[in-house]
């Protein structure tokens, strides 16, 4: 399952469309990291609204992705974690430390604007 | 048990199938949407361990009845290398891979009952149960 | 005394007598039913019921009982009792009204048997042997249906009270307040977290103030739930501020290994709301003697 990556100005937006296999998720990570370098993007948003499970592997992959992107000078925001999924993640013991999160795409974009361009928003 | 569904686990692609099957069965039993997510996540962890450490195995989900309690039972079984020290493996943060080591203890927290039997060289069997909450509609 | 199923002849006699009773009750239906309704009225058991209700229900109950006597099957009575309990309890009928009503009917039937067989003691005893177990069975079916219905309602009310006692309040745009009052057990803590997370989603909240002033004690389980709630809210993009942590509770939390420095804590609810305002980009403008303005406005840069 391919995850479309949209370039919007300084940002890259990846909207996951369906449940992903491990290989799909790894591919998404590598694609995003590569494109951040390629486009010199300053922010990345990964929309996980459709995911109804975030297990230890998914969390670990998203975390390492955020880290690799940070090393390339860009910010990552994970948006759209569902209430049930958030509940399940903390029960499992997963916290996504060091990764910024936002409610949805819109909030994610305003968060990036705020962080990167110093626009008003929640910091 | 007639209403038992099994999924053969041969590669990471089967993880998605396994948790979908588990979710379907749990839905039939009337679990809440939060509980469906908890069950699917626990299944994801134990099946991932099969793929990671034993290469192949089997996941089965069924219905259990105990007195007036009804619930789902999940069994993940493999004939892989087994776990030498189960107490250690059940600790948060213990991993022989370079992982978070949360899979087994986490799955235990997500479910109501959790049992693991393993023998080095023979394989591993994880049995987990969750009961349908009675007073919730 | 005849015991059921001891020998054929007695069984046949039983069946014949049973049929005789059934026919007697059917024949006397109008008379006995009227007596029943009258007695219930006198005892005040029919308060709050309309004439029509009384007519319909009394006919159905009367006939249902006869069917039980005739067939020895109680399914009809069971279904009817459950339905009656559902409606009765909903309309606020008391257990006394319902059980009293059935007891009265039992008396009416019994009395009529005494009158009918008063010349034949043998036959009366035989008739009572048949009649009494049926009457008792019906009574227990009705009583049970009521107890079950009551329990069901109590459970529903407990659920409702639990939800009420954990209100998630929206104070302003993007800000929620969750005042926790009372003892938290695991069930309630989970419910509370789930409710909060759903509300964050539906109300698009960015800041949540959890006030635990009303929580008398915190043990490791509750502390754990609190930490989980904070973490889960963050995963959904909301910042949590915890207020009302008494020195004792703070001590407990630290002892339990909760890292308070990683948690956003403010002394009291008022302070928490101010902090939340700041996070949201509101700022309170202090009274400025020159302009005299004292209002809140959205910070614009
Ligand atoms: N089916 C299995 N067969 C053999 N060893 C296993 C199996 N499942 C778990 N283990 C062993 O138990 C350890 C702990 O498992 P657990 O799932 O808790 O953590 P992990 O898989 O290392 O990390 P995570 O699940 O957080 O990614 C594993 O590192 C592995 O050594
Ligand atoms: Mg694992």
CATH code for the domain of C21? 1.10.490.20
**C143 plus C280 within the same structural domain:** no
Q: Which segment of C26-40, C81-95, C106-120 scores lowest on mean pLDDT?
A: C81-95
Which residues, 6 or more positions from C147, have their beta carbon under 8 angstroms from its beta carbon? none
Evaluate if residue C299 carries a pLDDT over 80. no
**C190 plus C114 within the same structural domain:** no
Separation of CA C7 and ligand 2 centre (Å):
70
Report yes or no on C245 lying in a domain: yes
**C67 plus C103 within the same structural domain:** yes
The whole-chain average pLDDT of chain B stands at 93
What is the largest distance, in Å, between two alpha-carbon atoms of chain A?
A: 38
CATH no. of A5-116? 3.30.750.24
pLDDT score, position C166: 66
**More confident site: C282 or A90:** A90
Query: Which stretches does DSSP call E strand in chain C?
Result: 169-172, 175-181, 207-214, 239-243, 265-266, 282-284, 296-298
Which residues, 6 or more positions from A106, have their beta carbon under 8 angstroms from its beta carbon? none
Report yes or no on C45 lying in a domain: yes
Nearest-angstrom CA–CA distance, A93 and B93 = 10
Instruction: Spell out the SS3 assignment of A21-87.
Output: CHHHHHHHHHHHHHHHHHHCCCEEEEECCCCCCCCHHHHHHHHHHHHHHHHCCCEEEEECCCHHHHH
Evaluate if residue C183 carries a pLDDT over 80. no
Identify the chains in contact with C, defined as 3+ C-beta pairs within 8 A.
Answer: A, B
pLDDT band at residue C296 under the 50/70/90 scheme: very low
pLDDT score, position C298: 46
Per-residue DSSP letter, C262 = G
pLDDT score, position B71: 95
Q: Give the ligand whose atoms come closest to the C-alpha of residue B97.
A: 1
* B114, β-bridge pairs: B128
With contact defined as beta carbons under 8 Å apart, do C209 and C176 qualify?
A: yes
pLDDT in tens, B106-123: 999 999 999 999 999 999
pLDDT in tens, C64-99: 899 999 998 999 888 888 888 887 765 677 778 888
Query: Which stretches does DSSP call E strand in chain B?
Result: 5-9, 57-66, 69-78, 113-119, 123-131
Domains in chain B and their CATH numbers? 2-131 (3.30.565.10)
Q: How many domains does chain C have?
A: 2
pLDDT score, position C90: 57
Residues with CB under 6 A from ligand 1: A 56; B 45, 49-50, 53-54, 78, 80-83, 89, 94-97, 99-105, 124
Nearest-angstrom CA–CA distance, B16 and A57 = 12
pLDDT score, position C162: 64
Q: How far is A27 from chain B (nearest CA, A)?
A: 14
**C118 plus C146 within the same structural domain:** yes
Angle between the B103-110 and A83-92 helix axes, to the nearest 10 degrees? 120
With contact defined as beta carbons under 8 Å apart, do B98 and B52 qualify?
A: no
pLDDT score, position B121: 95
Nearest-angstrom CA–CA distance, B43 and B62 = 13
Report yes or no on C240 lying in a domain: yes
| A58 alpha-carbon distance from chain centroid | 11
Nearest-angstrom CA–CA distance, B25 and C215 = 38
Q: How far is B17 from chain A (nearest CA, A)?
A: 10
**C175 plus C120 within the same structural domain:** no
Does this complex have an ipTM over 0.95? no
With contact defined as beta carbons under 8 Å apart, do C206 and A102 qualify?
A: no
Where exactly are the structural domains of chain A? 5-116
Chain C segment 29-58 residues within 8 A of B by beta carbon are none
Evaluate if residue C4 carries a pLDDT over 70. no
Report yes or no on C216 lying in a domain: yes
* Mean pLDDT, rounded, for A5-30: 94
Report yes or no on C1 lying in a domain: no
**C155 plus C173 within the same structural domain:** no
* CATH number, position C208: 3.30.750.24
Q: How many CB pairs under 8 A join A and B?
A: 74
Q: Which residues surround ligand 2, an ion (CB under 5 A)?
A: B 49, 103
Q: Provide the token pair at C192.
A: 């509370």
Nearest-angstrom CA–CA distance, B39 and B5 = 15
Residue B136 in contact with partner chain C when CB distance is under 8 A: yes
Residues C27-56 as b/e (b if ≥16 CB within 10 A, e otherwise) read ebeeebbebbbebbeeeebbeebeeeeeee
Angle between the C95-116 and C121-164 helix axes, to the nearest 10 degrees? 170
Pairing assessment for the beta strands A43-47 and A75-79 based on DSSP bridges: parallel
With contact defined as beta carbons under 8 Å apart, do A91 and C228 qualify?
A: yes
Separation of CA C280 and ligand 1 centre (Å):
42
Separation of CA B107 and ligand 2 centre (Å):
9
pLDDT band at residue B134 under the 50/70/90 scheme: low
The alpha-carbon radius of gyration of chain C (Å, integer) is 33
The secondary element (H helix, E strand) that includes residue B49 is helix B33-49
CB contact under 8 A, A95 and C233: no
CB contact under 8 A, C159 and B34: no
Nearest-angstrom CA–CA distance, C211 and C179 = 5
* Mean pLDDT, rounded, for C160-173: 75
**More confident site: B62 or C298:** B62
Nearest chain C alpha carbon to A95: C231
Nearest-angstrom CA–CA distance, C130 and C136 = 11
Nearest-angstrom CA–CA distance, B109 and B125 = 17
What pTM, to 2 d.p., does this model score? 0.71
* Mean pLDDT, rounded, for C13-35: 91
pLDDT score, position C163: 61
Nearest-angstrom CA–CA distance, A108 and C112 = 81
pLDDT in tens, A51-74: 999 999 999 999 999 999 999 999
Q: Give the ligand whose atoms come closest to the C-alpha of residue A60.
A: 1
Residues in chain C with CB shorter than 8 Å from the CB of B136 are 159
Evaluate if residue B76 carries a pLDDT over 70. yes
Report yes or no on C2 lying in a domain: no
Per-residue DSSP letter, A19 = -
- Of A85, A87, A103, which is closest to C237 when you measure between CB atoms? A103
Domain stops at, among C115, C131, C160: C160
**More confident site: C239 or C90:** C239
* Mean pLDDT, rounded, for B83-105: 92
Question: How far apart, in Å, do the first and last CA atoms of chain A sit?
Answer: 34
**C174 plus C235 within the same structural domain:** yes
Task: Answer positive or negative: Cα dihedral of C198, C199, C200, C201.
Answer: positive
Reduce the DSSP state of residue A20 to 3 states and report it: coil
Q: How far is B123 from chain A (nearest CA, A)?
A: 22
The order of strands in the sheet holding C207-214 is C169-172, C175-181, C207-214, C239-243, C265-266
Separation of CA C236 and ligand 1 centre (Å):
28
**C124 plus C207 within the same structural domain:** no
The secondary element (H helix, E strand) that includes residue B109 is helix B103-110
For C58, the domain range is 8-160
The whole-chain average pLDDT of chain C stands at 83
What is the largest distance, in Å, between two alpha-carbon atoms of chain C?
A: 111
The alpha-carbon radius of gyration of chain B (Å, integer) is 14
Which residues, 6 or more positions from C270, have their beta carbon under 8 angstroms from its beta carbon? none
* Mean pLDDT, rounded, for C152-159: 77
**C108 plus C81 within the same structural domain:** yes
Angle between the B33-49 and B103-110 helix axes, to the nearest 10 degrees? 150
pLDDT score, position B123: 97
Domain stops at, among C105, C133, C160: C160
Evaluate if residue C290 carries a pLDDT over 70. no
The whole-chain average pLDDT of chain A stands at 92
């Amino acid at each position: 399952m391919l995850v479309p990556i949209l370039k919007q100005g300084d940002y890259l937006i990846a909207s996951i469309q369906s449940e992903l296999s491990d290989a799909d998720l790894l591919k998404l990570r590598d694609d995003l990291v590569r494109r951040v370098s390629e486009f010199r993007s300053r922010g990345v948003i990964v929309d996980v609204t459709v995911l109804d499970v975030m297990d230890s592997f998914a969390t670990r992959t998203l975390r390492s992705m955020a880290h690799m992107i940070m090393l390339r000078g860009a910010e990552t925001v994970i948006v759209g974690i569902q209430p049930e999924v958030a509940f399940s993640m903390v029960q499992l013991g997963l916290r996504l430390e060091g990764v910024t999160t936002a409610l949805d795409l819109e909030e994610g974009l305003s968060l990036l604007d705020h962080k990167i361009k110093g626009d008003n928003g929640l910091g | 048990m007639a209403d038992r569904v099994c999924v053969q686990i041969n590669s990471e692609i089967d993880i998605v199938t396994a948790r979908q099957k588990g979710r379907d069965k749990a839905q039939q039993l009337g679990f809440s949407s939060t509980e469906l997510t908890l069950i699917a996540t626990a299944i994801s962890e134990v099946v991932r361990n099969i793929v990671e450490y034993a290469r192949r195995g089997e996941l089965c989900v069924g219905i259990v009845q105990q007195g007036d309690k009804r619930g789902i039972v999940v069994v993940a079984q493999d004939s892989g290398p087994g776990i030498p020290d189960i107490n250690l493996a059940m600790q948060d943060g213990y991993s022989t891979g370079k992982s978070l080591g949360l899979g087994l203890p986490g799955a235990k927290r997500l479910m109501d009952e959790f049992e693991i039997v393993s023998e080095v060289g023979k394989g591993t069997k994880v049995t987990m149960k969750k009961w349908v909450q009675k007073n919730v509609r | 005394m005849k015991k059921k199923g001891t020998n054929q002849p007695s069984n046949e006699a039983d069946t014949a007598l049973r049929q005789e009773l059934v026919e007697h009750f059917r024949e006397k239906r109008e008379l006995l039913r009227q007596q029943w309704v009258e007695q219930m009225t006198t005892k005040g058991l029919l308060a709050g019921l309309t004439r029509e209700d009384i007519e319909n229900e009394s006919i159905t109950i009367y006939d249902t009982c006869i069917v039980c006597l005739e067939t020895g099957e109680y399914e009809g009575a069971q279904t009817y009792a459950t339905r009656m309990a559902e409606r009765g309890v909903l309309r606020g009928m008391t257990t006394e009204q319902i059980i009293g009503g059935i007891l009265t009917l039992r008396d009416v039937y019994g009395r009529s048997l005494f009158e009918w067989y008063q010349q034949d003691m043998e036959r009366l005893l035989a008739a009572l042997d048949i009649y009494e177990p049926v009457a008792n069975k019906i009574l227990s079916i009705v009583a049970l249906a009521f107890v079950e219905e009551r329990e069901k309602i109590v459970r529903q009310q407990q659920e409702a009270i639990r939800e009420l006692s954990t209100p998630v309040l929206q104070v302003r745009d993007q800000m929620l307040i969750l005042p926790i009052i009372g003892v938290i057990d695991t069930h309630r803590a989970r419910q509370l977290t789930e409710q909060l997370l759903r509300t964050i989603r539906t109300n698009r909240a960015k800041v949540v103030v959890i006030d635990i002033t009303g929580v008398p004690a915190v043990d490791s389980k509750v502390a754990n739930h609190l930490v989980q709630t904070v973490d889960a809210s963050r995963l959904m993009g909301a910042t949590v501020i915890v207020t009302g942590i008494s020195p004792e509770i703070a001590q407990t939390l630290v002892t339990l290994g909760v890292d308070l420095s990683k948690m956003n804590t403010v002394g009291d609810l008022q302070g928490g709301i101010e902090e939340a305002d700041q996070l949201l980009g509101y700022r309170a403008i202090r009274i400025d003697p020159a302009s005299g303005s004292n209002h809140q406005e959205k910070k614009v840069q």
